[in-house]
Chain A
Amino acid sequence: MIPILSLIIWLPAVAALFIAVVPRTMVRLIQFLALAAGAGSAFLSLRVFAEGFVNHEALDKFQWVEAIPWLESLGIQYKVGVDGLSLSMMLLTGLVSFAALWMSLSIDKRQKEYFVLCLLAITGVYGVFASIDLFFFVIFYELASIPMYFLVGIWGSDKIGSGRPIYRERAATKLLLYLQLGGGLVLLGILGLYFASGAHTFDLQVLLSSHLSGPHQKVLFLVFFIGFAIEAGLVPLHTWLPEGHSSAPTPLSMLLAGVLLKMGGYGIMRFCLQLTPAASAAFLPAFAIMGAVNVLYGGLCALRQSDVKVMIAYSSVSHMGMFYLGIGCFAAAAPFNSYGVLGAHFQLFSHGVITALLFAVAGAVYNKTHSRDLRAWGGLGARTPYYTFFYVLAAMGSLGLPGMTGFWAEFMALFGTWGSQNWWLAVLAVPGLLITTMFLLRSVQYGFFGPLNPDHLNVKDADWWELVAFALLAFAAIFCGIIPRVLTDPALVIIRPMLGVGP
């Protein structure tokens, strides 16, 4: 049997090794190697997804499991596997990382180091979603977050001028500190899990079947929740997002918003909802209010931004609010809890794809115009129809237009909330959709509509490799928006037992 998951995870890392020995002048070869590895992993993850979707009834258990014993005395082994919760995350990582690698072709300095670090980060992200040994979970987590520091710090961009100044070194430091703080708490939680469960193992499969006592659950829940919420942009722990996302180079913004943010969401579902269900039922309904706060707070902050990437970062904060609202339905009555949690899970994929597309287009336009200020773009639609098309498409997806994935996520999360004890939170959060519409349409109007700013008379339209990335993400967002069962059926297999809903 082919170790398909290990192939997915390690292919980018192997490519990174090869790139490390290629002379730095052979840029084409470096780019080719990186893209080939990205394509291989993305294709295999698509294959895993397709196979998983066809046999989705089996996804309540981990599939494609590979285990290599390592430090058996400590209960550590290399063990990977995918179930209904992580299946769509693997596909998301494949899509976003592949698209990000295409967008990386625009990187014009120190390509060798860039691609090595980028591919290592991609390996880390795949590993986080696939590993079912928590020790390796932590290792992969660090592998995903540490390269971000260098990638943002070296290849990022500064913004001085109107609005708040943003320096890439400071943003990179802040980003890494936040990720490490979150990671540290998660590590603490995992160690707590190791001892509290009494199993003395890092094997998630074993831990899932062990029962934790009530107080243990509560403590562990809080540690995990805060740790992962730092990554998943919970207000007030979100301030690394605007700076980190906006100073990161375009492909990194895509990775950060597309998959790194999702590691937090996935972690909450995996560790809080699955491992500490009693504490989740006790805490999450109260925490749902933070979801509504996220939606409104992120939206209102975005309404004031003139820097397009900061605006998109705040929109991520707003969108992650829907995730928190969704998991807040954990303790609701029968169909509503499923809707809420399913909507939250759906939002992870949906936001990943759509925000990556939004960042990709915005970043590409930044590369061409050398300005992130929306007010300075002005009327680009006259010169750049492709950018305009994809930006409008991404904006529509982001504001929850039916026919794209965002709609289903928001609808299910809101419907679940409406049916839970917090029905008033749905009423509170709904204006967030209007605010999202307002700032996104404003950015469309300022950036692409109206008379063309003469500063951009000679601006070029999208390069073909950028179009590949855009089309990939747009297709995914539309396809899963038209046939949402592709994502919901595998996820439900694991969400139903999680909530105690029988088939």
Chain B
Amino acid sequence: MEYLWLLLALPLCASLMCAFVTRPWPLLSAAASWVSTLCCLAVSGNVFFERQGAGQAPFSKIFNIIQLVPHTSQGIGTLPVGYLVDNLTAVMLTMICFIALLIQIYSYSYMSVEVKHFPTQGPTTVSRFFACLNLFIFSMMGLVLAVSTIQLYIFWELVGLCSYLLIGFWFFKTSAAVASRKAFVVTKFADLGFLLGVLCLGAAAQTFSFPNLLTKHLDIGEPLLSIGLILLFCGAIGKSAQFPLHIWLPDAMEGPTPVSALIHAATMVAAGVYMVARMAPVFAIAPHAATFVAWTGAITALVAGSLALVQNDIKKILAYSTVSQLGFMLTALGAGASNAGVFHLITHAFFKALLFLGSGAVIVACHSNDIWKMGGLKKNLPATHIAFFFGCLALAGIPPFAGFWSKDEILGGLVHHLPLLIILTFTAFMTAFYVGRLYCVAFLGAYRGDQADLPFGGPVPPANLPAPISPAKTIFEMQPFWNEERASQDKRHLPPECMGALSEGMGHAEEHDHAEDTDHDHHHEVREVSPLMYIPLLILSVFAIFLGLLGTPWHNMFAQFVFPTAPEEGANIALMVGSTVVAVAGFGMAWSFYAKNPTEGEGRLQKMLGPMLPVLQQKYYMDHLWAKALAYLLYSDARILARFDEKGVDGVVYGIGEATYRAGQLVRQEQNGQLQRYALTLVVGFFLVVFATLLFEPQFLWDHLAPIQALVSRLHPSGGPDL
């Protein structure tokens, strides 16, 4: 326990080192990151094993980062940070370090290959990548170790920063730049709720720190507590990409694939789930908030699961499946099945990391994200294929793979919430189907990448609809003068920096392939890139197969460790059979659709979806909705206000200036240089003064000192100087 500070110090130092010291040497940066993460894994593994054994109290240490009154740290007079280690923390720490290590090993060769596709990027790019990755691990460690809601918020935001930097990693592509901004703004929008929740709970409970918040009998009325918790949960809606703020996660796939694996699948998006699990004892006494969480999760699971059915980009299918699975976890937590939720979080982290890393290997090998440009990869990428296959089975929930046990536990926890159970079972069926579709289209059959005439998005063109818009392109927003569209029309010979995504890159593999055709006179060969890439996959697949056995309903070691006091549903054989049947049916249906003739299968799916197809292809119009809301609620207001400021407020200011000027001009008329006029003014003025004096002080007629004396006596009532 005394080495816990290393968990924060090591990744931070590694990050600074990659950014400033080993910038020109990517291998050194990578090695530094590996060593740092390995040490973190050792420390967190040590914590994990130390905490074995029943009934250990949570271990916490608190520092006061701000203290209003010296030497007193009671109540909310101090803002505490520090660390809190209980069994939940131990599990999370170990999981994050382990996955992060594998992903960092994988990243080195992935990034080395990927960087070559961008002529403007050099070795420093790889170092930049590792710097951001280590900063992310630092933030995640701080988040998991958080001892107070404030610390949670601090690292919550830092995690958001890392996500921003990594989504926008290929910053010269407009799509990446827009996606990173969208992700940050959407999650920040949600974080407003989080911030208000922190303020609300802090003020109501008179404490920020978890040891007090979780164990003390909270003396807050249910409505206030529920409001505070729902506000807090708003943050989770953003960070864990729940409906209706899930819109950023699919766009976040603009980041390099290892980032998608680590941040947007395995760890960061789980932060919201972790937060709810951390606050589980409080949610337990606020039933309204818990119900809200459960229903948000269920709706998200359904929405995202259905969206994954029609995606053609391998990473977007996985992204929507992540959103959907996070919905599963939150439903479980909201329904009180904390163990099931956290267990699914852990197993999902492993098999989703596996799936993303596998998809990265596939993308690097095929130079395309489109599953319709893959096919037949079973033969070409045997190691990746087998790992990916296990990942698919785990995600589909087919026994005995990891996903089955955790998903089954979630369903088992919902037996008393029938509507939720039905929604999630249906989603589980869809999950199995889209996973099967992904697997069959990408890995079975024959390689289709050489069919150059194949349009993106598969053999069946998408429904004839307006292109989806992103909130960045609303009518009220100004646009930069230079963009990729103009670059494509420009006749000059421009260097690649000016071309953005049009420069030879991942999204434009055709030109690249043709170039290789002419060079080598044979077609681009799809093969494994490096053992550094498939060995982490194979390690992860071992976990995807066996990890679930820790949490079987007969001997749930996981639940006994994390939340030993939580109520436990026994083994429900009927449910297990049912969920197996659902998963196998979904996977089998996909197999029957796509294994032989994927094109025809896609047609069948589209026919089956019927009127839902355009709705799904337009993502339930959520992007449109948010863009419109933004345009009409914010940008139009801003437009009016900015005009008001320029013409109204400043108009008044300049009006006053103008009025002074005019007044001066009026007086200036008198100063016209004509002596006669001056003489006239003099005479008129003299008589005016005399007239006024006589009017107020008539005794001036016989006593010329009287008015002055009157004035003096008015100023000095006690008697002025004698005149």
> Beyond A239-B650, A430-B195, is A452–B154 a contact (Cβ under 8 Å)?
no
> Would you call B479 an interface residue if the criterion is a C-beta within 8 Å of the partner chain's C-beta atoms?
yes
Q: Interface-forming stretch among B381-389, B451-459, B640-648?
A: B640-648
**8 A Cβ contacts from A216-231 to B:** none
Give bound CA distance, A300 to B177, whole Å. 22
Interface of chain A: mostly helix, strand, loop or mixed: helix
- Which residues of chain A are within 8 angstroms of B176 by Cβ–Cβ distance? 449
- Which residues of chain A are within 8 angstroms of B477 by Cβ–Cβ distance? 442
> Would you call A433 an interface residue if the criterion is a C-beta within 8 Å of the partner chain's C-beta atoms?
yes
> Would you call B653 an interface residue if the criterion is a C-beta within 8 Å of the partner chain's C-beta atoms?
yes
B471 to chain A, nearest CB (A): 10
Number of A-B residue pairs, CB cutoff 8 Å, is 192
A379 touches B641 (CB 8 A): no
B239 to chain A, nearest CB (A): 14
- Which residues of chain A are within 8 angstroms of B168 by Cβ–Cβ distance? 449
- Which residues of chain B are within 8 angstroms of A483 by Cβ–Cβ distance? 65
A389's nearest neighbour on chain B, judged by CB, is B19
> Would you call B662 an interface residue if the criterion is a C-beta within 8 Å of the partner chain's C-beta atoms?
no
Contact with B along A192-216 (1 / 0, CB 8 A): 0000000000000000000000000
A451 touches B500 (CB 8 A): yes
- Which residues of chain A are within 8 angstroms of B500 by Cβ–Cβ distance? 379, 450-451
A402 touches B487 (CB 8 A): no
- Which residues of chain B are within 8 angstroms of A381 by Cβ–Cβ distance? 171-172
**8 A Cβ contacts from B19-78 to A:** 65-70, 75-77
**8 A Cβ contacts from B194-223 to A:** 195-196, 199-200, 202-203
A373's nearest neighbour on chain B, judged by CB, is B481
> Would you call A288 an interface residue if the criterion is a C-beta within 8 Å of the partner chain's C-beta atoms?
no
> Would you call A457 an interface residue if the criterion is a C-beta within 8 Å of the partner chain's C-beta atoms?
yes
A450 touches B172 (CB 8 A): yes
Give bound CA distance, A501 to B10, whole Å. 41
A399's nearest neighbour on chain B, judged by CB, is B188
- Which residues of chain A are within 8 angstroms of B155 by Cβ–Cβ distance? 402
> Would you call B635 an interface residue if the criterion is a C-beta within 8 Å of the partner chain's C-beta atoms?
yes
B482 touches A451 (CB 8 A): yes
Give bound CA distance, A164 to B77, whole Å. 47
> Beyond A306-B478, A379-B497, A441-B184, is A454–B68 a contact (Cβ under 8 Å)?
no
Q: Interface-forming stretch among B295-303, B415-423, B488-496, B569-577?
A: B488-496
A503 touches B69 (CB 8 A): yes
A202 to chain B, nearest CB (A): 25
Q: How many residues of A contact B (CB 8 A)?
A: 73
> Would you call B694 an interface residue if the criterion is a C-beta within 8 Å of the partner chain's C-beta atoms?
no
> Would you call B558 an interface residue if the criterion is a C-beta within 8 Å of the partner chain's C-beta atoms?
no
> Would you call A485 an interface residue if the criterion is a C-beta within 8 Å of the partner chain's C-beta atoms?
yes
A376 touches B481 (CB 8 A): yes
B158 touches A383 (CB 8 A): no
> Beyond A303-B635, A419-B203, is A450–B65 a contact (Cβ under 8 Å)?
no
**8 A Cβ contacts from B171-187 to A:** 171-174, 176-178, 180-181, 184-185
Give bound CA distance, A378 to B498, whole Å. 9
> Would you call B466 an interface residue if the criterion is a C-beta within 8 Å of the partner chain's C-beta atoms?
no
B478 touches A437 (CB 8 A): no
B482 touches A304 (CB 8 A): no
- Which residues of chain B are within 8 angstroms of A433 by Cβ–Cβ distance? 188, 192, 195
Give bound CA distance, A383 to B75, whole Å. 51
Give bound CA distance, A118 to B641, whole Å. 35
Give bound CA distance, A304 to B477, whole Å. 8
Contact with B along A367-403 (1 / 0, CB 8 A): 0000000111111011100000000000010010111
B498 touches A441 (CB 8 A): no
Q: Interface-forming stretch among A253-261, A263-271, A334-342?
A: A334-342
Contact with B along A456-470 (1 / 0, CB 8 A): 010000000000000
> Would you call A435 an interface residue if the criterion is a C-beta within 8 Å of the partner chain's C-beta atoms?
yes
* Residue among B120, B158, B482, B484 making CB contact with A403, cutoff 8 Å: B158
- Which residues of chain B are within 8 angstroms of A431 by Cβ–Cβ distance? 192
A297's nearest neighbour on chain B, judged by CB, is B641
A445 touches B178 (CB 8 A): yes
> Beyond A375-B481, A430-B195, is A488–B158 a contact (Cβ under 8 Å)?
no
> Would you call A474 an interface residue if the criterion is a C-beta within 8 Å of the partner chain's C-beta atoms?
no
| Interface size of B as a range | 35 or more
B69 touches A450 (CB 8 A): no
> Would you call A492 an interface residue if the criterion is a C-beta within 8 Å of the partner chain's C-beta atoms?
yes
B196 touches A426 (CB 8 A): yes
Most central of B176, B178, B480 by chain A CB within 10 Å: B480
> Beyond A433-B192, A451-B172, A452-B172, is A335–B68 a contact (Cβ under 8 Å)?
yes
- Which residues of chain A are within 8 angstroms of B171 by Cβ–Cβ distance? 381, 448-450
B196 touches A427 (CB 8 A): yes
A300 touches B637 (CB 8 A): yes
B196 touches A430 (CB 8 A): yes
A303 touches B161 (CB 8 A): no
> Would you call B539 an interface residue if the criterion is a C-beta within 8 Å of the partner chain's C-beta atoms?
no
> Would you call A305 an interface residue if the criterion is a C-beta within 8 Å of the partner chain's C-beta atoms?
yes
Q: Interface-forming stretch among A6-14, A78-86, A276-284, A407-415?
A: A407-415
> Beyond A335-B77, A446-B480, is A451–B499 a contact (Cβ under 8 Å)?
yes
A379's nearest neighbour on chain B, judged by CB, is B172
* Residue among B189, B478, B635 making CB contact with A375, cutoff 8 Å: B478
B675 to chain A, nearest CB (A): 35
Give bound CA distance, A306 to B653, whole Å. 23
B497 touches A300 (CB 8 A): no
A236 touches B649 (CB 8 A): yes
B69's nearest neighbour on chain A, judged by CB, is A503
- Which residues of chain A are within 8 angstroms of B497 by Cβ–Cβ distance? 379, 382-383, 451-452, 457
A-B contacts, 6 of them at CB < 8 A, read A301-B645, A401-B157, A402-B154, A435-B634, A446-B480, A450-B483
7 smallest beta-carbon distances between A and B, as pairs: A451-B500, A449-B177, A304-B642, A402-B154, A453-B482, A303-B638, A378-B482
Chain A interface residues (CB < 8 Å from chain B): 164, 174, 235-236, 238-239, 242, 297, 300-301, 303-306, 335-336, 338-339, 342, 374-379, 381-383, 396, 399, 401-403, 407-408, 411-412, 414-415, 418-419, 426-427, 430-431, 433-435, 437-438, 441-442, 444-446, 448-455, 457, 483-485, 488-489, 492, 496, 501, 503
Q: A304-B638, A414-B199 are in contact. List 11 more A-B contacts (CB 8 A).
A: A242-B645, A378-B481, A382-B497, A426-B196, A433-B192, A441-B184, A442-B477, A444-B181, A449-B177, A492-B69, A501-B69
